[in-house]
Amino acid sequence: MEAMRITTGDVLELGPGVFSTPYLHWVCEKEKRNLLSIEDNYNWHYFCRKYYRTAYHKHLHVLTWDDADTAIKKEWGLAFVDHSPSERRVVEIAKLANLAQLIVIHDSNVVQDGNYHYSTIYPLFKYKFDFTKVEPATTALSNFIDLKDFNI
Confidence of residue 84 (pLDDT cuts 50, 70, 90): very high
59 in a structural domain: yes
Query: H-type helices in 6-147, by residue range?
Result: 20-31, 42-51, 69-72, 89-96, 113-116
Contact 124, 29 (CB under 8 A): no
**Is 151 a domain residue?**
no
Could you tell me if residue 152 is inside a domain?
Answer: no
Q: What confidence score (pLDDT) does residue 50 get?
A: 87
Instruction: Please report whether residue 148 resides in a domain.
Output: no
Q: What percent of the chain has pLDDT over 90?
A: 91
Domain that holds residue 112: 2-142
The CATH number linked to 72 is 3.40.50.150
Q: For residue 20, what are the CA distances in angstroms to 3, 65, 94?
A: 12, 19, 21
Helix boundaries (H) for 1-148: 2-5, 20-31, 42-51, 69-72, 89-96, 113-116
Instruction: HSE, CB side, 13 Å, CA atoms: give it for residue 138.
Output: 16
C-alpha to C-alpha distance for 43 and 2, rounded to whole angstroms: 30
For residue 84, how far is the Cα from the chain centroid?
12
Assigned domain for 89 exists: yes
Check whether 99 has a pLDDT greater than 80. Answer: yes
Residue 102 lies in a domain: yes
Residue 44 belongs to some domain of the structure: yes
- Looking at the domain assignment, is residue 101 inside a domain? yes
**pLDDT tens digits, 38-78:** 999 999 999 999 889 899 999 999 999 999 999 999 999 99
Q: How many domains does the chain have?
A: 1
